């Protein structure tokens, strides 16, 4: 079974406004609300690609109820820990002249709630896959993902980490199966600007040398770079299409890579192709793409 963990799931309130003006009244011409958070997006996209999975993490309040409702509507399993206080965050995604995001903080996760999550993770079986994705709320240590991996060390569990800064760097020596920074996050890790694909490949190799088995770097319109566990470098351009919504495209790439890896019995070229197609297909749609849309892009390669 595949499990995703989202510490800070959300409802994403997407609003489209013509000619947004700050300090004035703006009216939308389109708006909708979807369940979000990086792990939640991975769960939904995996389901769209035909792969059963269970979403774990924390929810609270009426917004948490809606996140659960939408996940179930998508056919996803969930086993969230419900927090007694607060509510799951609402993030605003404003589409006008470009994209602006306002992301809320989220509820406080208590020690009791963390213990409940740890109990769920301790029950994972050998050959399961765990996706740790996204930020963590205030109050939790930057070693949180590492703490989870330490508990599972020595077991045959494939772990994917999609996080930034210390959350990511703290887990590398525990040899996660896959990490997926985007190029901006990679620049932040190394505190430098990368001007060439070669620079990105060198940086990915450095992360691999620290322990990551596979390093997948998403590069938005410039495609993706994979340094795989065999030391081989693979690159992929993105299919042509109109950018509609970039939110969730990186999460779709993670889901697509995992789906492609499973379906091809571990062929990295197939995994990369499916990952790039899934990420691109979601970027070309209002929300997360379906299997048919992903396969349509695969056929164009």
d(CA 139, CA 119): 20
Catalytic residue, from 147, 173, 251, 269: name it: 251
H helices of the chain, where? 38-48, 61-73, 111-122, 144-152, 165-169, 183-190, 197-209, 249-263, 268-283, 291-300
DSSP letter at 274 equals H
CA max distance for the chain: 57
Residue 198: both structure tokens together: 């070669």
Contact predicate 1/54, CB 8 Å: yes
Task: Check if the beta carbon of residue 83 is closer than 8 Å to that of residue 110.
Answer: yes
Tally the C-alpha atoms within 13 A of residue 239's C-alpha that lie toward its C-beta.
23
Q: Which two tokens stand for residue 83?
A: 């927090």
Determine the Cα angle at 179 with ends 127 and 173, to 5°.
80
Q: Is 162 a catalytic residue?
A: no
Q: Please state, in angstroms and as integers, the Cα–Cα distance from residue 283 to each residue in 128, 154, 161, 278, following that order.
A: 29, 37, 21, 9
- The residues annotated as belonging to the active site are 251
């Amino acid at each position: 079974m595949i499990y995703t963990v989202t510490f800070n799931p959300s409802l994403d309130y997407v609003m489209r406004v013509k000619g947004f003006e700050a300090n004035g009244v703006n009216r939308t011409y389109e708006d909708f609300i979807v369940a979000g958070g990086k792990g939640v997006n991975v769960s939904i996209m995996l389901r769209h690609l035909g792969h059963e999975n269970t979403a774990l993490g924390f929810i609270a309040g009426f917004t948490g109820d809606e996140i659960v409702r939408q996940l179930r509507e998508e056919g996803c399993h969930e086993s969230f820990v419900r927090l007694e206080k607060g509510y799951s965050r609402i993030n605003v995604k404003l589409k006008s002249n470009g994209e602006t995001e306002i992301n809320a903080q989220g509820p406080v996760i208590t020690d009791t709630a963390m213990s409940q999550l740890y109990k769920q993770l301790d029950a994972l079986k050998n050959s399961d896959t765990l996706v740790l994705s996204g930020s963590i709320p205030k109050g939790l240590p930057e070693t949180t993902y590492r703490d989870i991996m330490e508990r599972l060390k020595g077991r045959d569990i494939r772990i994917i980490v999609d996080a930034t800064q210390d959350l990511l760097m703290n887990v590398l020596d525990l040899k996660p199966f896959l990490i997926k920074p985007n190029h901006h996050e990679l620049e932040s890790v190394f505190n430098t600007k990368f001007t060439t694909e070669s620079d990105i490949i060198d940086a990915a190799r450095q992360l691999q040398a620290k322990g990551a088995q596979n390093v997948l770097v998403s590069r938005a319109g410039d495609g993706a770079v994979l340094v795989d566990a065999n030391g081989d470098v693979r690159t992929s351009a993105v299919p042509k299409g109109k950018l509609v919504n970039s939110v969730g495209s990186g999460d779709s790439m993670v889901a697509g890579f995992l789906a492609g890896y499973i379906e091809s019995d571990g062929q990295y070229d197939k995994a990369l192709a499916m990952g790039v197609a899934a990420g691109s297909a979601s970027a070309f749609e209002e929300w997360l793409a379906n299997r048919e849309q992903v396969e349509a892009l695969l056929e164009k390669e």
